């Protein structure tokens, strides 16, 4: 049984049995135990173990044969391999037994199974991910030993056959040659989390008051290190979106620390600071015979990074360095020009405060493509946001199993308010290995260092500014002795006649918390965040009629809707909720998010989710609009004007066709009435659906791609000859040249099809006939079939950018569009923030008291009016109809109930 404190060990360390090593060489004792009626047998075959579950959603369990003597005799492989695993808490013995015919045993056990469970063979590695810790450790050990026995049937020195010894933990040679005993050895492998970040050579505490974690800094530097970036990689064979820590095996004559440094440099090109490498933990990994040793370490300073590293000498490519194009060797405050440093000092900023706002220069990653598919630096805040749901779920599962502190060290409350995942654009949702892996343990340990004790200044807002034209002050909130934590504040108020009025208000808040406040500067500013955002229209939509006084309305519906705010630095704050449109507008003014995403409606208020995790019903997504996300990058194989983020009038028809195809199908085939189409602001469109309860032929490269779908070379030549005359026909008739070419292609295919059909008897080429019949359909299909990001549509808790947000890279507003006029939409004429702000400022000068719906005097007006006319009005009619139906149902139910008395 595990010793005291074993609950804190990694996943596969929880071996549940007393190994009883002193009994292994007592053959009589082992024979007696194997014949005992209480003995439990674990069937094994290769790397497979026998498992079962009572239902598809229930816990996976090892299948234990009890008593096991009959199976151990009847089904055991020859020669017999019986492995003594130990005794459980009640004294029952456990043996592993290698089976000769796994299918026969499975059929016999399934036929005699009275519990109704489903039995199956699974690899020990895959099964371990679904088993409880103790069961996983037991089956992994048994599986690892079974695989070792299968590979050591002959002595490596004498060549003589070997037989099982020491209860399955040894093999000895037989015959006259014999040979020394053989034992199951393990292959040590290192797995490491390498971090990097900014450092400050000034003395004192970390800017946010934290004590730097170990390893704190390069040896002897005396620098305060902020390890806010970690290095993760992925292999092509891993599940979509999976990233993990780097790992590798030791070489002969190599110490563990040097193996860590060598493997990281080989796979990523990043040089590790060797003195920073520290041991973390270890766990058996008998798949088939490894021992994983986990380490933490830091990347070496930039002046020690080798650009001709081993990883770059092989098939390699550059990964994400985090700060491309910035002068090597400079960090934080050093990145500022002389003028910028002077400006920072003029307003009272310290180098330490500047460092917290500037990204560090990270070592360049050069991915060894024969080792990894990808390797990147990831920021701690981004990781917390991306992994919050995965890690919180793992933590709750461990708590339910009684393992509260052993695997994570990171409390569930650490994930409050963080996002499920900013997925990397165009890529599946980011995830890491589960709690069975040391990688998971390393990552959780590093993420937990982010959290610090509450500070008295935490509840004083960092930004509290008004709307319109107002005075503002820049302040520093700090401990009185200037040795603890501090943070910068920006406060402004339209009602304040003097800057000192604002300063006095904040100073009073600081004094009540025994904190000091410094004035760094101030001025006059114009700020109109809520004037441009149609918060009332968004509220009317997402409340679905429950914003009225109707008797059947549910006022809490909007409050159960999740909003996610993206703050500066790409910090994702999920599970925001608001009571109405005004509350939403106030939050936008107060927090100034760079982007707003909309999530599902939950069973409970998202901001109070921790109260309802074990409620009935539990906190979970309840409903959401059906949404589609279409991105032009998915059409890169059929467009020739550009790739990736490019969008223009040449490739927009692809998007317009997708919109029309989906819109017509949703309305005619599925009965959707209220459908909202929104331009994403850059290279795609989003579609929101609420249920009521030919420019492709202009480019030579495109024409060549289309001809590839024609099944015969002679047919291709015919179409090419006809297309050479298309310009003249278009000029003579006035027809669009695309329509002329398409008609020529169809006629050529039809003529050839008639020829093939006319052939009689065995000479008819049916293969060519089928290819000709479908080639034009394939051309249409490949260019018009909508290419959707299916993950956005099928996952209930997936976030989607809210309409009327501003795209951070283009400055364009995500505006609705009319699907019937999608072919006329021009992404280059979309309202952008650069033109909207001057329009708002001009309106403020003309009408200084008019604050509400400032968008009416801007280029946003027709876009919001389209939203109201084409979408919102239909939604409101459906909402009224739905509420009326609920009222009638309630009235009928009341009448039926009264008639029973």
Environment class of 707 (CB within 10 Å of its CB; exposed 0-12, middle 13-18, buried 19+): middle
Q: For residue 341, how many C-alpha atoms fall within 13 Å in the half-sphere facing its CB?
A: 9
CA atoms of 414 and 411, how far apart (whole Å): 5
Q: Residue 664: how many CB atoms within 10 A of its CB?
A: 12
The packing angle between helices 713-723 and 700-707, to 10°, is 150
Q: 15 with 137: CB under 8 angstroms?
A: yes
Cα→Cα distances 228→186, 212, 280, 298, 887, Å: 34, 11, 18, 11, 56
Cα→Cα distances 508→308, 472, 492, Å: 58, 17, 16
DSSP 242: B
Quick check: helix, strand or coil at residue 868? helix
Quick check: helix, strand or coil at residue 296? strand
CA nearest neighbour of 570 among 421, 461, 736? 421
CA atoms of 644 and 781, how far apart (whole Å): 22
CA atoms of 581 and 598, how far apart (whole Å): 14
Instruction: State the distance between the two ends of the chain, measured CA to CA, in whole angstroms.
Output: 66
Any residues with CB less than 8 A from the CB of 417 and at least 6 apart, and which?
573, 574, 575, 576
CA atoms of 230 and 225, how far apart (whole Å): 13
Any residues with CB less than 8 A from the CB of 769 and at least 6 apart, and which?
753, 756, 757
CA atoms of 515 and 507, how far apart (whole Å): 9
Q: Which structure tokens are listed for 452?
A: 């610090």
Strand 800-801 and strand 595-602: the pairing is: antiparallel
Q: Which structure tokens are listed for 530?
A: 């809520």
SS3 string, 748-796, reads HHHHHHHHHHHCCHHHCCHHHHHHHHHHHHHHHHHHHCCCECHHHHHCC
Q: 629 with 793: CB under 8 angstroms?
A: yes
Q: 833 with 811: CB under 8 angstroms?
A: yes
Q: Which structure tokens are listed for 113?
A: 């199974």
CA atoms of 168 and 185, how far apart (whole Å): 13
Annotated catalytic residues are 562, 629, 631
CA atoms of 678 and 801, how far apart (whole Å): 10
∠ CA 303-305-309 to the nearest 5 degrees? 150
Q: 287 with 124: CB under 8 angstroms?
A: yes
CA atoms of 17 and 225, how far apart (whole Å): 44
DSSP 239: P
Q: 680 with 807: CB under 8 angstroms?
A: yes
CA atoms of 204 and 21, how far apart (whole Å): 54
Any residues with CB less than 8 A from the CB of 579 and at least 6 apart, and which?
558, 559
Instruction: Check residue 637 and give left, alpha or beta (phi > 0: left; psi -120 to 50: alpha).
Output: alpha
How long is the chain? Answer: 901
Percentages helix, strand, coil for the chain (3-state, rounded to 5) are 40, 20, 40
């Amino acid at each position: 049984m595990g010793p005291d404190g074993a609950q804190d060990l990694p996943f596969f360390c929880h071996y549940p049995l007393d190994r009883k090593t002193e009994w292994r060489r007592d053959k009589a004792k082992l024979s007696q135990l194997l014949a005992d009626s209480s003995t439990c047998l674990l069937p094994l075959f290769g790397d497979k173990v026998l498992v079962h579950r009572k239902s598809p959603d229930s816990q996976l369990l090892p299948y234990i044969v009890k008593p096991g003597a009959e199976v151990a005799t009847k089904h055991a492989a020859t020669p017999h391999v019986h492995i003594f695993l130990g005794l459980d808490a009640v004294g029952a013995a456990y043996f592993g037994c290698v089976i000769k015919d796994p299918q026969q045993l499975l059929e016999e056990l399934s036929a005699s199974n009275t519990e109704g469970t489903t039995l199956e063979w699974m690899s020990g590695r895959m099964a371990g991910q679904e088993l409880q810790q103790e069961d996983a450790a037991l089956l992994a050990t048994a599986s690892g030993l079974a695989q070792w026995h299968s590979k050591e049937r002959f002595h490596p020195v004498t060549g003589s056959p070997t037989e099982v010894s020491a209860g399955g933990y040894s093999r000895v040679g037989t015959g006259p040659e014999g040979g020394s005993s053989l034992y199951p050895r393990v292959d040590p492998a290192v797995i490491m989390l390498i971090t990097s970040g900014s450092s400050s050579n000034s003395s004192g505490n970390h800017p946010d008051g934290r004590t730097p974690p170990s390893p704190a800094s390069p040896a002897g530097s005396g620098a305060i290190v902020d390890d806010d970036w970690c290095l993760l990689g992925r292999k092509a064979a891993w599940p979509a979106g999976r990233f993990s820590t780097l790992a590798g095996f030791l070489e002969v004559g190599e110490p563990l620390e040097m193996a860590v440094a060598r493997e990281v440099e080989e796979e990523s090109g990043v040089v590790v600071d060797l003195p920073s490498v520290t041991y973390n933990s270890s766990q058996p990994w008998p798949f088939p015979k490894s021992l994983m040793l986990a380490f933490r370490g830091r990347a070496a300073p930039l002046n020690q990074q080798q650009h001709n590293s081993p990883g770059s000498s092989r098939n390699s490519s550059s990964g994400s360095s985090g700060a491309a194009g910035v002068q090597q060797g400079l960090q934080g405050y050093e990145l500022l020009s002389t003028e910028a440093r002077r400006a920072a000092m003029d307003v009272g900023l310290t180098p330490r405060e500047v460092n917290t706002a500037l990204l560090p220069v990270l070592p360049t990653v050069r991915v060894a493509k024969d080792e990894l598919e990808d390797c990147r630096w990831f920021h701690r805040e981004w990781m917390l946001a991306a992994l919050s749901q995965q890690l919180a779920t793992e933590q709750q599962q461990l708590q339910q199993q009684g393992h509260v502190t052993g695997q994570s060290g990171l409390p569930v409350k650490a994930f409050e308010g963080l996002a499920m995942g900013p997925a990397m654009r165009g890529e599946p949702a980011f995830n890491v290995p589960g709690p069975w892996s040391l990688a998971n343990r390393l990552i959780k340990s590093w993420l937990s260092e982010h959290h610090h004790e509450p500070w008295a200044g935490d509840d004083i807002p960092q930004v509290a500014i008004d709307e319109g034209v107002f005075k503002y002050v820049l302040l520093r909130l700090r401990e009185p002795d200037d040795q603890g934590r501090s943070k910068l504040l920006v406060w402004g108020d339209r009602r304040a006649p003097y800057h000192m009025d604002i300063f006095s208000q904040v100073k009073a808040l600081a004094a009540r918390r025994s904190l000091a406040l410094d004035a760094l500067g101030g001025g006059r500013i114009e700020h109109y965040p809520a004037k441009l955002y149609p918060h009332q229209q968004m509220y009317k939509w997402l409340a679905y009629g429950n914003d009225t006084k109707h008797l059947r309305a549910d006022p809490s519906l909007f409050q159960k809707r999740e909003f996610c705010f993206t703050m500066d630095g790409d910090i994702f704050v999920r599970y925001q909720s608001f009571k109405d449109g005004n509350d939403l507008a106030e939050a936008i003014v107060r927090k100034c998010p760079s982007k707003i995403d909309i999530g599902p409606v939950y069973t409970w208020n998202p901001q109070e989710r921790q109260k309802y995790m074990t409620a009935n019903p539990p906190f979970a997504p309840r409903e959401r609009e059906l949404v589609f996300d279409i991105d032009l990058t998915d059409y890169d194989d059929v467009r020739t004007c550009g790739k990736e983020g490019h969008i223009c009038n040449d490739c927009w028809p692809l998007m317009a066709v997708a919109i029309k195809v989906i819109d017509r199908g949703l309305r005619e085939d599925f009965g959707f009435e209220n459908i909202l189409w929104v331009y994403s602001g850059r290279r795609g469109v989003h579609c929101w659906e609420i249920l009521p309860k030919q420019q492709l032929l202009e480019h030579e490269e495109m024409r060549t791609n289309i001809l590839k779908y024609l099944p015969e070379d002679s047919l291709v030549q015919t179409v090419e000859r006809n297309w050479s005359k298309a310009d003249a026909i278009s000029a003579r008739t006035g027809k669009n040249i695309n329509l002329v070419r398409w008609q020529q292609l169809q006629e050529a295919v039809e003529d050839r099809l008639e020829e093939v059909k006319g052939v009689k008897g065995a000479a008819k080429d049916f293969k060519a006939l089928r290819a000709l019949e479908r080639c034009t359909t394939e051309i249409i299909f490949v260019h018009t079939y909508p290419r959707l990001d299916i993950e956005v549509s099928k996952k209930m808790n997936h976030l989607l950018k809210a309409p009327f947000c501003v795209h951070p890279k283009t400055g364009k507003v995500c505006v609705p569009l009319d699907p019937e006029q999608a072919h006329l939409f021009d992404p280059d004429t979309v309202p952008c923030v650069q033109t909207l702000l001057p329009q708002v400022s001009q309106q403020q000068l003309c009408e200084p008291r008019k604050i509400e719906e400032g968008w009416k005097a801007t280029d946003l007006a027709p876009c919001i009016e389209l939203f109201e006319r084409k979408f919102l009005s239909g939604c409101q009619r459906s909402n009224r109809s739905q509420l009326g139906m609920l009222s009638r149902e309630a009235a009928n139910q009341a009448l039926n109930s009264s008639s029973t008395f």
